[in-house]
Amino acid sequence: MISMKQLAKCSAGLAALAVPAAAHADVTIGPRFSYYIDNSNLRSSNVDGLRDALRVVDDQVTADLRAALNPAQVTLTEADNGNATNADQITFPMFGALVNFGDDRDRFTIMGMYGKGTTRNELVSTRELTLMVDAATFNEISVIETVSDDEIERFDVELTWQRRLNERLAILGGVRYERLDKTGSGQVSITDTDEVRQFISGTLGNIDPGQAAFGAPQRLSTVSMLETYSARIGVTAFVPASENTVLFFSGMVQGGYQPSTPVDTQFFDQNGLVVREEARKDRSEFSAGPDFAVGAQFMLADDIALDVRYRAIVSFPLSGELSFSDTRINHGVNLGVSFRL
């Protein structure tokens, strides 16, 4: 059976498994490395947001048509007929550091991580335009394709508190801040039957390209920032496996808040000139779900330990634009070396 003193030497980590043999406070520091997978770019919130910049139907076009065709009755409508996305989850190689301090009962851990990831997103959407001029009806089907290559920077900061209940069990809680800074560039184009567009062009003459693309591809660039604030509470159980190894499992319930997300998009013509700008905010979101980790700590020397774990955080939307089943999942492996001072 591993002794309490040996267990103490298997230094802290985020779950703060280590407990010093003496009652006085001590400090543990060390680098942390992780490889995380994030599915936030696969969620269906506002997947058709970029289509707004290619709309032919807007208040100005409708007013111009009614003025040009007066006294005819003009009705111009647009209906979305669905969409499909194709993208890879974002992978983040991350690095950072940990500081753990406290006494033999209460331990506190502060950890910061930073990493970069890339992904390509493809969105194919369809819509139908219907123009009615008195008894005449014009229909048009459009297929809109958007392809964007995105670069994402990720920042994670976490504070954890742990209180040991006995040699094998502890309670823990904490708060976490995550931020994804995304910049993207790509192209959006439409393929359609042009019955409605031909009628609009023939009636109104040249239309501002910022109002209608008429099938011409446009380059685009996007900038957005996704933030998440969360709090969690749960338990950690650990089992000595040998003189120098401790296995552990932590399970927590977490609740999160994601503020409204700003998304700024610019569209460029073939000469590189900005023809339209779009600024929108995706709705804020409250979420909840499990946060669990499994792993092991290995004693390398009296005051040096290796921490290996797998962690997964699942968030089910409780409010906002997404359905409850459209979850956000972060998961990956973590590796760290702890030095007890």
pLDDT in tens, 191-226: 777 777 778 777 877 554 444 444 556 788 989 999
More confidently predicted of 291 and 140 = 291
Mean pLDDT of 218-237: 92
- pLDDT of 130 higher than 90: no
Asked which of 13-27, 97-111, 217-231, 246-260 is least confident by mean pLDDT, the reply is 13-27
In angstroms, the Cα distances linking 227 to 177, 285, 286 are: 7, 11, 12
Q: What does the alpha-carbon distance between residue 217 and residue 314 come to, in Å, rounded to a whole number?
A: 38
Which uninterrupted H or E stretch holds 306? Answer: strand 304-317
* Alpha-carbon span 341 to 174, nearest angstrom: 24
| pLDDT of amino acid 159 | 97
Q: Give the pLDDT band of residue 148 (cuts 50, 70, 90).
A: confident
Least confident span in 70-79, 189-198, 223-232: 189-198
Across 47-61, 85-99, 223-237, 279-293, the highest mean pLDDT is recorded for 223-237
pLDDT score, position 12: 41
Return the sign of the alpha-carbon dihedral for residues 198, 67, 60, 140.
Answer: negative
Tokens, residue 215: 């099938």
Which neighbouring-strand residues pair with 267?
220, 276
**Which of the residue ranges 44-53, 211-220, 244-253, 276-285 would you say has the lowest mean pLDDT?**
44-53
pLDDT digits (tens, 9 = 90+) for 10-56: 434 433 433 333 344 589 999 999 999 998 877 764 444 454 545 55
Distances (CA, A) of 251 to 33, 83, 147, 276: 21, 37, 39, 48
Give the residue-averaged pLDDT of 133-147: 83
Cβ-proximal residues to 336 (8 Å cutoff; 6+ apart), any chain: 13, 30, 31, 32, 33, 98, 306, 307
The per-residue pLDDT for 207 is 55
Q: Is the pLDDT of residue 232 over 90?
A: yes
Which one, of 332, 327, 339, 257, lies nearest residue 293 by Cα? 332
- Tokens 């338990």 locate to 235
Domains of the chain: 4-340 (2.40.128)
Strand partners for 251: 235, 292
Average of per-residue pLDDT across 258-282: 83
| Residue 246: burial class (beta carbons within 10 Å; 0-12, 13-18, 19+) | buried
Residue 25 has what pLDDT? 59
Specify the higher pLDDT residue, 329 or 207. 329
Computed over every residue of the chain, the mean pLDDT equals 82
Three-class secondary structure of residue 201 per DSSP: helix
Query: What is the distance between the alpha carbons of residues 76 and 289, in angstroms, rounded to a whole number?
Result: 44
Can you tell me the distance from the alpha carbon of 283 to that of 271, in angstroms, rounded to the nearest whole number? 34
- Residue 168 CB neighbour total at 10 angstroms: 13
pLDDT band at 310 (very low <50, low <70, confident <90, very high): very high
DSSP three-state, residue 72:
coil
Report the length, in residues, of the chain: 341
H or E, element range at 63: helix 59-69
**Residue 9 banded pLDDT, cuts 50, 70, 90:** very low
pLDDT tier at 254, thresholds 50, 70, 90? very high
Select the highest-mean-pLDDT range: 175-179, 272-276, 337-341. 175-179
By the 8 A CB rule, do 249 and 293 touch?
yes
- pTM here is 0.77
